[in-house]
Amino acid sequence: MTGDRIELAVHDHGGDGPPLLLLHGARRTLADWAAVAPLLVPRHRVLAVDLRGHGLSPSGTWSLSRVLDDLEAVLERYDIPGALPVGHSLGGVLAVRYALGHPDVTPGAVDLDGYGWGRPDQYVGLDPAYVEERLIRVRELESAMVPGEPIPVDGLKDLLAEQRAMSEQLGIPYELLEAGLLRSVRHGPDGRLEVRPEREHALEMLAAIDAIDALDLFDAFAKTRRPLLLGRALRPAPPIPGMPWFDELMTAYRRGLARDLAELAERRPTVRVVGIDGTHEMLLENPGAVADALLAFTSDVFSGVAS
């Protein structure tokens, strides 16, 4: 660690082409890229990282500036300051923010379905006041889902059963979900299992995400001068039991996102928008479609077409 930077866990997938830095979403790990990365290696040098407090990376106070400093340290260590940051979900937000902060060396950025909860006015057909009320409830549920105490060792079977159910529901290979979960848990000194990131830092991360939402991501997209690929999930998320209003909310938000992304691409020629045939779990559901979209974009970026 240098200063407040954390030395992140890195999976170097190899490759000799222009470098890519792959970033995962909140409470996920670099294992999410396991099926996508090999499809990129024939044309790129590919690194994937566990963000601070996630996977095998050390814990530390979670803030946007600290996380971006961590990413800079990785690229310095591997001597690839000009790597293209490619992120999914929260990782996509970080990729755009990193490109904004390093415009002289970063060739662009990729954000795959990383749009947070957006603005209330982006929920087409719904009253913004109603949306704000529901989003407060969503954020409360997010915080409540953060584990408060370590779980018993035998509790791992329940977590794996949840992954099995997701595998069957979304058609994701179970081994991908299992690998991600096992990378996210570790044994505590008393033998119980800790799910990472720990509660303190997970709550800091959620607060940071809320702050990013408040700043309006579309403003950041518009300020990015380098080529920008924005991927959008074309399939809705599965229903959530006990939250019948959530489907209505997300349907309205998908319509608003489609509208606003199309308008952004129309007025900003450096912005490319692509739909990915998958839900938010697109990296695991449809790695081929994700890789195809990335390679089409990077081909133009590194040949100068998209600049």
Among 229, 167, 234, 172, residue whose Cα is nearest residue 35? 172
Task: Report the predicted TM-score, pTM, of the whole model to 2 decimal places.
Answer: 0.95
Q: Is the pLDDT of residue 88 over 70?
A: yes
User: Residue 219 carries which side chain, given as an amino acid letter?
Assistant: D
Structural domains in the chain, CATH included, are 10-124+198-303 (3.40.50.1820)
Q: What is the spatial distance between Cα 256 and Cα 118, in angstroms, rounded to a whole number?
A: 9
Q: Is the pLDDT of residue 3 over 60?
A: no
Q: Pick the residue with more confidence: 243 or 99? A: 99
Q: What is the pLDDT of residues 116-161, one digit of tens each?
A: 999 999 999 999 999 999 999 999 989 988 988 888 888 899 999 9
Determine how many CB atoms are found less than 10 A away from the CB of residue 251. Answer: 15
Q: What is the DSSP string of 265-281?
A: HHH-TTEEEEEESS-TT
Give the pLDDT confidence score for residue 191 in this predicted structure: 82
Q: What is the pLDDT of residues 243-293, one digit of tens each?
A: 889 999 999 999 999 999 999 999 999 999 999 999 999 999 999 999 999
> Do 89 and 110 form a contact (C-beta atoms < 8 A)?
no
Q: Pick the residue with more confidence: 292 or 2? A: 292
Give the pLDDT confidence score for residue 211 in this predicted structure: 86
Among 166, 5, 135, residue whose Cα is nearest residue 77? 5
Q: What is the DSSP string of 142-181?
A: HHHTS--SPBPGGGHHHHHHHHHHHHHHHT--HHHHHHHH
